[in-house]
Chain A
């Protein structure tokens, strides 16, 4: 009974699936999906390798400081970093006084202690990075109707995060003539910017890094556009996962201990089972 019912149910689903399959094949044969500008011209990010990559990688603090400088001087005009507090910057090698000074350089929302009116005050080490816009409407109004996303988790929130940020920042270019020839309707709209690494090829962010020396590095590194893009990508890897170094540092002893314990477990298993797998032991029984 179960088997007859089973076969009937099976035949029903197989039939319904065959109908779907048949229609799908028919549609694909008569009306193949046309290519789109995105499907032809979208590019995978260019690989960016950083000191923090790999199981043995560690953050390069000097690079993180440079990246922070790029964020502070360029990106923070539009992008928030709401999950990061100034105190966290100590992990980049700044001391307490430097952190306090950095915090003071930002105006954060506050209250007038006498009147209770909303105002701003210089930041404290315990404050989080402030938002550049009061709200999304203000952000849209200033950015071609797009809200600049928070950057705290950006490198974890995109496929190949660090390479993506790096490629996006260095990928702005004029729209290729070949694209316009193949897809005349896909012209980049005014106020958007062509970038083959962005999923739909046109984004509302104007190229933020445009000129060599846009940021004056204090450690003597030459601030080329490529270098600044790498540094800020490295910094955003840190903001997305400040505990990355600690995680890997913890991981090795854990794996070492487990390996040791596993070898011991294997040896005792071998010892206990000796003779159980073959005729040697049968005579003893």
Chain B
């Protein structure tokens, strides 16, 4: 895409002209993250997190590839080879801690990125494809993170793999054969470890591919912004470089400070002590918990404690375990339908009084509570609390959001980004109503805009 006022790429030296004819890579960069990409001038720091996610992916691939040179994907020695990295490989401890905490940092960043999208309605037209690709990335990240956690072959690796692949056994008829096929055996062992390693090496590159599509899709409508009002004119935008390269540079500095504080000073704070015990199929840990970034979904899984039976009989319609598995996957997959569940034409939550309340007082606490309960032992009161929170989770996305978007009366929107930033926009006074009627992006204007 480009707005008509986007700066054109002009090669300045004979070499760059030559290059531009043979392989216009500099032209691509100029238009993608350079002066040729006009971006709304009012982006908040929440818009830093896409770039930060990209940095995390690079950190994970770099550290991961080197770790793989020293790691041995064999059930007999995987645990010891990890300790060999920690003790004997030059800077091995740094690589491993950078990679383990890098995974956590990646999820922190992506969760903020997703919730930014949820609040500012970034998933709505014309950005549905960016969002859909984002959900694909998120699913791939979950799979990659899970398989990575299995590799050091500690107690939580083993039992986590057993519990998570065990979810497939809940599927009627094909479940158990499917689980055995996935594991290459009756329980996690060498076959599972080897294929998990292979896939864990592969998937980040698949993610990188989908990220390229994600950013390509982003460049068609361009970024949204905190008002959700579409770009109308040149004064609404600034060129990506130098404005957002500078802002992203500062954000990156803050991110790296926090990340390195974890890597160097509390590298095990987010891990589980049991994973420093070698895998032992004969000794079940007291509490099997996955990594923190799966906790909300793990809580949903465990919230289904009773079968659905036909009333007054003992005929089980849906067993509790299958319900839990269906709900856990639905909780993630429903993200794919968000652009069509929330039909309010107003994007930004700032101008949606009802939506805003449900978002801050419903969804955010609900996800935090689910996260807390998912990491806690599967005992009361945590199960009951997760049941209440899970009810809200499904109600929020599948019932409240569609209904609110029909009944809510949005607040008036600013005429343009320029007006939102500067407090006035010369063109706004000319003919706001005419503009509202003719703008190609009527969705950016609240239908309730006072006449």
Residues of A within 8 A of B (CB): 2-3, 6-7, 9-11, 13-14, 16-21, 23-25, 28, 33, 55, 83, 88, 149, 152-153, 156-159, 161, 199, 240-243, 246-248, 250-251, 254-255, 258-259, 261-262, 265-266, 268-269, 272-273, 276-279, 282, 285
Q: A6 near B343 (CB under 8 angstroms)?
A: no
- Which of B51-59, B113-121, B253-261, B355-363 lies on the face that meets chain A? B253-261
With contact pairs A17-B303, A268-B249 given, residues A28 and B384 touching in the complex (Cβ less than 8 Å): yes
Chain B interface residue count, CB cutoff 8 Å, equals 68
With contact pairs A250-B94, A254-B264, A266-B250 given, residues A14 and B391 touching in the complex (Cβ less than 8 Å): yes
CA distance A19 to B308 in the complex (A): 8
CA distance A25 to B148 in the complex (A): 38
Interface residues of B in 363-402 (CB under 8 A from A): 379-380, 383-384, 387-388, 390-391, 394-395, 397-399, 402
The 3 closest A-B pairs by CB, nearest first: A10-B398, A251-B264, A262-B253
Q: A156 near B276 (CB under 8 angstroms)?
A: yes
B230 in the interface (beta carbon within 8 A): no
Q: B394 near A277 (CB under 8 angstroms)?
A: no
What are 16 A-B residue pairs whose CB atoms fall within 8 Å in the complex?
A6-B397, A13-B327, A13-B390, A14-B395, A16-B304, A20-B303, A21-B384, A33-B380, A55-B265, A251-B263, A251-B264, A261-B253, A265-B249, A272-B243, A273-B247, A285-B234
How many whole Å from A156's CB to the nearest CB in chain B? 4
How many whole Å from A280's CB to the nearest CB in chain B? 9
Neighbour of B305 across the interface among A20, A156, A250, A261, CB < 8 A = A20
With contact pairs A7-B402, A16-B308, A24-B384 given, residues A273 and B253 touching in the complex (Cβ less than 8 Å): no
User: What is the total of A-B residue contacts with beta carbons within 8 Å?
Assistant: 170
With contact pairs A161-B273, A265-B246 given, residues A276 and B395 touching in the complex (Cβ less than 8 Å): no
Q: A156 near B330 (CB under 8 angstroms)?
A: no
CA distance A55 to B252 in the complex (A): 23
Residue from B267, B274, B398 whose CB has the most chain A CB atoms within 10 Å: B398
Q: Which residues of the other chain, B, contact A11 by a CB distance below 8 angstroms?
A: 398-399
Q: A269 near B249 (CB under 8 angstroms)?
A: yes
How many whole Å from A249's CB to the nearest CB in chain B? 9
Known: A14-B394, A262-B256; 13 extra A-B contacts, CB below 8 A, are A6-B337, A20-B306, A23-B305, A28-B384, A55-B265, A83-B87, A153-B276, A153-B277, A157-B274, A250-B94, A269-B249, A282-B235, A282-B422
Q: B380 near A24 (CB under 8 angstroms)?
A: yes
With contact pairs A2-B340, A7-B402 given, residues A17 and B390 touching in the complex (Cβ less than 8 Å): yes
